[in-house]
Structure 1
Amino acid sequence: MLLSPISWLALIATILCIIRGIYLDKWATADLRGSGPHEAHWNREDPNRWTLNDGSLEIGTEPDNIFYFVQISDLHISQFQSKGYTIHFLHFLKSILPAISPEFVVVTGDLTDAKDARRITSSQHVVEWEVYQKSLEEAGVSDGWYDIRGNHDCFDVPQWSDSANMYKDHAVSGELLEKGQGVYEWELEKGSGRYQFVAFDACPKRGPSRPFNFFGYMPAKGMNHLANSIIGKEGDKSYNHTMVFAHYPTTTVAFGVSDKGYTYTDLAKQFSVYFCGHMHKLIGGLGDELKGYNAKTHSLELELGDMKDHAMYRIVAVDHDLISFVDVELPLPQIPFSTPEIPKVVEGKRLLPDKIDMPPVVLITNPKDARWILQYKEPVARIVQSRALRFLVFSGENDPKSLQVKITIDGIVHPYPAQYKGKGDPNGIAKGYMPLWISEWDPQNFDDREEHVLRITVTDSQGRKGVDESIFKVNGARIDINGGAGEWIIWTKFSFSLKLCCLVAISSILAILLIPKIYSDFTPPGTERQCARRPILQRIHHLSNEPKTLANRIRYHVWLWTLRCIDLPRNSPIIWTGTLTYTLMLISLPWFKGEFIPVAQNSEDRYGLFYLSGIRLSGEWIPLADTWMFALFELTFGLAAFVLVWIWRATDSADLRCSGTSRIRTLNERAWFKALVVIMWLWRMSEVLALGSFYGGFWPTLVQNIIIWWLLFAGICIASGKDGILARPSTKERISAIWGRCSICHLNDEASEEADVRRSLLDNADEDPGSHSSSSCSTNESIQGFNAVKIRKSRK
């Protein structure tokens, strides 16, 4: 027999569970796959929309062929939080927006906070939506205002038509989004240009309460509507630019495939910029530059910091079809971070605060910053043909000409003065306001293929300054963004990467459990079962006596951990079996049952099952990458960490003891290390118990939870398993203490027989004496040999 019955049973169970896991994943992601052939229908070889020598429209000195709009994101209007949050948004409406007077405003999600006072549970609060709705009415900006949902806006929302979905009743664009079934669009004609703007909702169609509601997804039906909006039914749409707005960065969205085979990449080739929010600038400066350029689609993705904490907003200008933007922070020193009272919707009470002063904001539109150049989607040849530097200046000054403007290029003061060419009411409100400034220049003076830095500083009458810089190349060539970690994050597909990492982790754990077991049990036909660990142990002892070079130490530890992996099923069969069983359960069974949508009217909509591939609610799958993120964390700290401890404990320290050395105590045998293992177990248990506070309490979330039962099993093994806290020294340790000499190393010929007997005895000290009576590792034969040697020594 090549393998033992236990090995065959483990292999068959593993194969069946893997097949089951693949089936579940295909089932969970079925809505992401369209009904048509999955092949791209749009493979334009030359994506250039503008001829390189386009001279049909010259960038001159007049305020024409230019418009701008504003993006804000992540308002998190809250009835409980008194720092930032609502007050930032209200100051933006009162003081900033009138001074800018854009064509329109787009809010890219998370309009409300939807958390309780302790920030633990989540649900929609009508007062927060009423604050949002009433503040817009009071500011008079509903015209030209577009908003979309974020993940906080669909916390604890069973479905779109449910009363818990307060977005559809209180948001400005609720009707548009409902009519477009998750996608809506609008157009704008300015000068010689025609522009399209598309917003889409990637929120879960059934919104679980937090924390499993961070990622989004676009099913095939949503991709159908998105493709129709961007491309048209027959690819008949033609615009100078198409811009797309969503809450989630693409790295946090699982995009499906449309029925006609369009993927997100196919659609991104047709639009210029993707605007989003959601990341809140992350932490530690990682999110300062969450912006990236996709060379495959020749499009930009620009994430905006939140209004909640960072008080950020963005002004985007399109000047002669060159797209520029600036991210601006509210004048926070003028806004008390902690307010005594968050405004409530009380009849007759004014929501908007008193007006604050706005420092100048500068946005350079020509020459465009080379980091954001779209070579194939913008007429970049217009830069070298332009006749003026152009920039927009927004301020609270009643007379724009009272502003002082300083222009430098490469640190040298520009010789031509700045001139105000604006039009309209500088106090805002009225459409058509254009705060354009220009300064004559000759771009040929800078046409040297080198990078140049244009810096414009504007000072108002009270000494406040606004600054903008443009790193430009007049030939229109792109330069690297150099966004560091933020640029890497924005193009790393977390939805895919998390899934890949989980599969690698599971595969690695299964390999560590199964391969050593199969290697130990493998017996070629016609031969006796051999002790697989003995040659490895000999290598370890040989390397321990070699010079302590780096290469030798690496080889030593490689063989040592190989031995430990082999010893796990041999010395701790119950732990090995329990670990393998739990790993296979994670692949093929639901992890726990939870009350994912507490507000739902019936139990089917409230309670769902958490699988590795998604959450199943009311007969439908929610294929959120949140499940993979939670699984990766649990696989790493809740399973792999304990497997490492089990493997570490599998080999007795007596096996590593050579002649003339004192007893070796490995790291995992020390009391402080065992204490750390206990602390880790308590931490994992507390994290899993926290699920009860989110999803239904003790029943069913904690009882119907395989993670809890695994942790209880792990706790017993930590306490009483091999080398556990309460475990006694092993047989091997006791034999080694009596004998006192190495069981592997042959000191001399006289001792060789003795060493052979001791080695065989120690190899089988923890095995069943009757399990391998015919093998060379037989415990009975070893004991007889041990006694024979003792008698021979006594006669001498």
Structure 2
Amino acid sequence: MASLLNIIATDHNFYTENKDEGLNYTKYLSQKYVKITDTNKNLIWFLQISDIHISIFRDPGRISQFQQFCDNTVKNIKPNIVLATGDLTDAKAKDNLGSSQVKKEWIYYYNIIQESGVTSDTIWLDIRGNHDNFNIKSINAQENYFRNYSVQGKTYPKSYVHILNENGVKVAFLGVDACPDPGIRRPFNFIGILDNQEQQHLQKLKLEAESKADHVVWFGHYPTSCILSLERDSQKLNLRHLISNAKGSQVYVCGHLHSMGGLVPQMYTIQRKGFLELELGDWKDNRMYRLAAIDHGIFSFVDQKHNTWPVVLVTNPKHALYAMPGREPLTLIRYSTHVRILAFSDVNIDTVQISYDKINWSECKLVETALYVCQWEPDLFKNGLHYLYVMATDEIGRKTIVDHPFSLDGSNLQFKVVPRILLMLDAGGVFQTLFGTLLMVNILPLVILRFQKRPPKCRRSIANKILRRIWLLTKIDRVFYPLVLYVLYIPFGPWIVGELIDGYIGVVFAWGIVIRGSYIPEPFTYMYGSVQLMFVHLPLVLVLAYCLEMRLFGQNLRGVKRVLKNLPFIFLLSIQLLLAYFYWLEYGTLAFIFGPLRTWSVFLNILLWYKTLTLPPDYCSIVVSAQIIHAKAIRSSSIGWDVKYQAGNMKTVAHNN
């Protein structure tokens, strides 16, 4: 727990740890921008949209409302840049399990952008996501429609940098493409990978960005927690270190996690090296987009629901939670003369007002385009945390009220724990740890109980009963050894041999994927194996232990009663058959036939269940004899069994056999 808390800690001070570097940089920015006043100089803003998932099979609203976004939202906000951070198309089959590039979806994406004319008013920077890389044998493959139907794909098929020099602000927008090459079909295409060539390319882009811009905005599809860097010359590039070491780096914006299905709507954190990482909720289901600005070197942002107006963003004073000491000139806020607010609507803005107590409101004046300013006295807010309230009203009466915490002495707020875990841990390491833990859980208890001569005891009767059932199961060689050997096979043997990419046979192991002579260390395989261990194998042990008890000590049941007694196994078998069916939909018939992890285990489990229910009398006698030897430990008060009753039933079982 201490290690976990240390990994996700955000209370370290980058400015203190890198005093000379941070002091020199912020001093340079302070001298460049001089003072924050009421002019529109030294201000740029941009939009981000992510996980659009244009689909021809489901939810046509994604397409129609994306067209509204281009036709209406972008043209009313008039950003300098629009970032489209991956998963531009859905690339999923009608059954929602198969995956492949669908040309018609890319044509929709291309036509919407072209017909809206959005690229004539702003710069559109798009980059690939994992869905845009499904079933692509190489970056140059004909099926890689990103090259021909995206805005930047023809010029920049992978990572690239775009320099913006506008209104006195020089910003480098550096896109990180971490899509694996080749790109196999789902689900083994969840983690991004930076190979040696791409790492070298990113190093060059970083140097270019540092030399030409004062600020660097990094963008990509995968969060840094979901990107694996391969070793190069016994070293590997860590994207977080690369971002933090770039002069002027302030933020990394991404998508991919879809706000965990809307459960974590504000997935933000500040990484240990002092830069912000901001995951944006998806367009696919939640229709979210982000408005961000750099005002006199200070970064601000707000996430907004589509067609919710007015949109309000306070750029001065800076939001207390997102302050980055050493990476932005926060001292300028203390000496600023005006509160600065960006406000947009699809109609005219009527009024923008501010208050510090929600009682006395002051009206802001429009400077130019969308910038509203109001004089303030920062000396009144020198100490502690304060709140600025902004109320914007448009001409048709729609109103937006924003609560904006700020501080001038470094007082800050804490990021929530769940977003920090999701963005600051290493997803591959988490998957591998979970997989290893479940391996131990599925092997060690069986082995330990196997060598115990006496049945274990627990205080709780339910746990006691379960443990004694499993203890009995471990004494049956023909069940125990297959259960243990299957679990030992999982981390070493192949799981799938099939057509992972159209026309190419690949092999999936726990530790990675081999296809087309390439090795892809996809860590999501560990999560896939964890599902098998957690929801199939572990319940199987409990079900077989229950079946053994029914065989040894139950009555000779027939008809409906017998079916009811076997309902747990029938339910488990249904789950397993469903998982095997998904296997077939995802990777085809060959993978279904040569699929030890899913398909073969179905037959293994049926065989074990059958062997358990049809144990011959001599096996039953040995187990019951062992039970009678320790009869004192199996009193009816602790387990609910009566030894004489067991022996009587055993005679019945032997007679029937």
**Which residue in 1 is equivalent to 2:202?**
226
**Is 1:75 equivalent to 2:75 in the alignment?**
no
Tell me the alpha carbon deviations over residues 419-439 of structure 1, each in whole angstroms, 9 at most, x when there is no partner.
Answer: 1101xxxxxxxxxxx411100
Normalising by structure 2, we get a TM-score of: 0.84
Q: Distance in 1 between matches of 2:144 and 2:284?
A: 22
Relative distance call for 1:499 and 1:45 in structure 2 (3 A) is farther
Secondary structure of the structure 2 residue equivalent to 1:266: helix
Q: CA deviation at 1:723?
A: 8.2
Which deviates more, 434-443 or 259-268? Answer: 259-268
Q: CA deviation at 1:244?
A: 0.8
Q: Greater relative contact order (Cα 8 A, min sep 6): structure 1 or 2?
A: 1
**Which residue in 2 is equivalent to 1:89?**
66
Q: CA deviation at 1:312?
A: 1.5
Q: Distance in 2 between matches of 1:745 and 1:303?
A: 57
Q: Distance in 1 between matches of 2:341 and 2:633?
A: 82
Partner of residue 568 from structure 2, selected from 667, 673, 676: 676
Q: CA deviation at 1:727?
A: 9.7
Give the aligned residue type for 2:494.
Answer: P
Q: CA deviation at 1:205?
A: 0.9
* 1:109/1:277 contact within 8 Å kept: yes
Q: Which structure: greater strand fraction? A: 2
**Which residue in 2 is equivalent to 1:412?**
359
* 1:654/1:732 contact within 8 Å kept: no
**Which residue in 2 is equivalent to 1:297?**
273
Normalising by structure 1, we get a TM-score of: 0.70
**Which residue in 1 is equivalent to 2:5?**
none
**Is 1:624 equivalent to 2:624 in the alignment?**
no
Q: Distance in 2 between matches of 1:238 and 1:262?
A: 23
**Is 1:267 equivalent to 2:235 in the alignment?**
no
**Is 1:717 equivalent to 2:652 in the alignment?**
no
**Which residue in 1 is equivalent to 2:220?**
246
Q: CA deviation at 1:45?
A: 6.8
Q: Distance in 2 between matches of 1:746 and 1:246?
A: 61
Q: Distance in 1 between matches of 2:470 and 2:619?
A: 20
Q: How many residues align?
A: 612
Tell me the alpha carbon deviations over residues 288-341 of structure 1, each in whole angstroms, 9 at most, x when there is no partner.
Answer: 1111111x1111111112222222211111001110111111227xxxxxxxxx
**Which residue in 2 is equivalent to 1:454?**
388
* 1:420/1:438 contact within 8 Å kept: yes
Give the aligned residue type for 2:162.
Answer: W
Tell me the alpha carbon deviations over residues 734-780 of structure 1, each in whole angstroms, 9 at most, x when there is no partner.
Answer: 8799x9x9843799xxxxxxxxxx99x99xx99xxxxxxxxxxxxxx
Give the aligned residue type for 1:578.
Answer: P
* 2:579/2:598 contact within 8 Å kept: no
Relative distance call for 1:688 and 1:387 in structure 2 (3 A) is same
Q: CA deviation at 1:221?
A: 2.3
Secondary structure of the structure 2 residue equivalent to 1:287: coil
Relative distance call for 1:126 and 1:409 in structure 2 (3 A) is same
Relative distance call for 1:120 and 1:709 in structure 2 (3 A) is closer
**Which residue in 1 is equivalent to 2:509?**
611
Q: CA deviation at 1:135?
A: 1.9
**Is 1:194 equivalent to 2:170 in the alignment?**
yes
Q: CA deviation at 1:557?
A: 7.5
Query: What pairs up with 1:425-436 in 2 under 5 angstroms?
Result: 434-436=369-371
* 2:53/2:284 contact within 8 Å kept: yes
Give the aligned residue type for 1:624.
Answer: E
Give the aligned residue type for 1:454.
Answer: L
* 1:69/1:105 contact within 8 Å kept: yes
Partner of residue 594 from structure 1, selected from 495, 498, 502: 498
Secondary structure of the structure 1 residue equivalent to 2:415: coil
**Is 1:493 equivalent to 2:426 in the alignment?**
yes
Q: Distance in 2 between matches of 1:588 and 1:183?
A: 35
Give the aligned residue type for 1:420.
Answer: L
Q: CA deviation at 1:99?
A: 0.8
**Is 1:437 equivalent to 2:372 in the alignment?**
yes
Give unpaired runs (5+ residues) of structure 2: 1-16, 556-560, 636-642, 652-657
Q: CA deviation at 1:654?
A: 8.7
Q: CA deviation at 1:52?
A: 7.6
**Is 1:640 equivalent to 2:541 in the alignment?**
no
Q: CA deviation at 1:153?
A: 1.0
Q: Which structure: greater helix fraction? A: 2
Which deviates more, 404-413 or 242-251? Answer: 404-413
**Which residue in 2 is equivalent to 1:575?**
479
Tell me the alpha carbon deviations over residues 54-98 of structure 1, each in whole angstroms, 9 at most, x when there is no partner.
Answer: 853111111111111111112222223344211111001111111
Q: Distance in 1 between matches of 2:562 and 2:389?
A: 63
* 2:442/2:533 contact within 8 Å kept: no
* 2:253/2:278 contact within 8 Å kept: yes
Q: Distance in 2 between matches of 1:266 and 1:490?
A: 14
**Which residue in 1 is equivalent to 2:621?**
731
Secondary structure of the structure 2 residue equivalent to 1:248: coil
Q: CA deviation at 1:592?
A: 1.8
* 2:551/2:613 contact within 8 Å kept: no
**Which residue in 2 is equivalent to 1:393?**
343
**Is 1:464 equivalent to 2:398 in the alignment?**
yes
**Which residue in 2 is equivalent to 1:370?**
320
**Which residue in 2 is equivalent to 1:152?**
131
* 1:361/1:393 contact within 8 Å kept: yes
Relative distance call for 1:163 and 1:734 in structure 2 (3 A) is closer
Give the aligned residue type for 1:623.
Answer: P
Q: CA deviation at 1:161?
A: 0.9
Q: Distance in 1 between matches of 2:356 and 2:565?
A: 62
Q: CA deviation at 1:490?
A: 2.7
Tell me the alpha carbon deviations over residues 236-261 of structure 1, each in whole angstroms, 9 at most, x when there is no partner.
Answer: 74743211111112222223355565
Relative distance call for 1:645 and 1:418 in structure 2 (3 A) is same
Percent of aligned pairs with the same amino acid: 27
* 1:375/1:477 contact within 8 Å kept: no
**Which residue in 1 is equivalent to 2:4?**
none
Q: Distance in 2 between matches of 1:187 and 1:639?
A: 53
Relative distance call for 1:308 and 1:710 in structure 2 (3 A) is closer
Give unpaired runs (5+ residues) of structure 1: 1-42, 333-358, 423-433, 521-531, 541-551, 601-605, 656-661, 664-668, 748-757, 767-796
* 2:255/2:279 contact within 8 Å kept: yes
**Is 1:215 equivalent to 2:208 in the alignment?**
no
Partner of residue 440 from structure 2, selected from 498, 503, 507: 507
Q: Distance in 2 between matches of 1:245 and 1:645?
A: 49
Partner of residue 125 from structure 1, selected from 94, 102, 106: 102
Q: CA deviation at 1:593?
A: 1.3
Secondary structure of the structure 1 residue equivalent to 2:601: helix
Secondary structure of the structure 2 residue equivalent to 1:396: coil
* 2:67/2:116 contact within 8 Å kept: no
Tell me the alpha carbon deviations over residues 346-402 of structure 1, each in whole angstroms, 9 at most, x when there is no partner.
Answer: xxxxxxxxxxxxx3211110011111111121111111111100001112335x5xx
**Which residue in 1 is equivalent to 2:295?**
319
Give the aligned residue type for 2:370.
Answer: P
* 2:498/2:594 contact within 8 Å kept: no
Tell me the alpha carbon deviations over residues 109-150 of structure 1, each in whole angstroms, 9 at most, x when there is no partner.
Answer: 111122233333222222221222222222223351110011
* 1:393/1:437 contact within 8 Å kept: yes
**Is 1:136 equivalent to 2:117 in the alignment?**
no
**Which residue in 2 is equivalent to 1:658?**
none
**Which residue in 2 is equivalent to 1:27?**
none
Larger radius of gyration: 1
Which deviates more, 262-271 or 583-592? Answer: 262-271
* 2:138/2:183 contact within 8 Å kept: yes
Q: CA deviation at 1:282?
A: 2.6
* 1:248/1:278 contact within 8 Å kept: yes
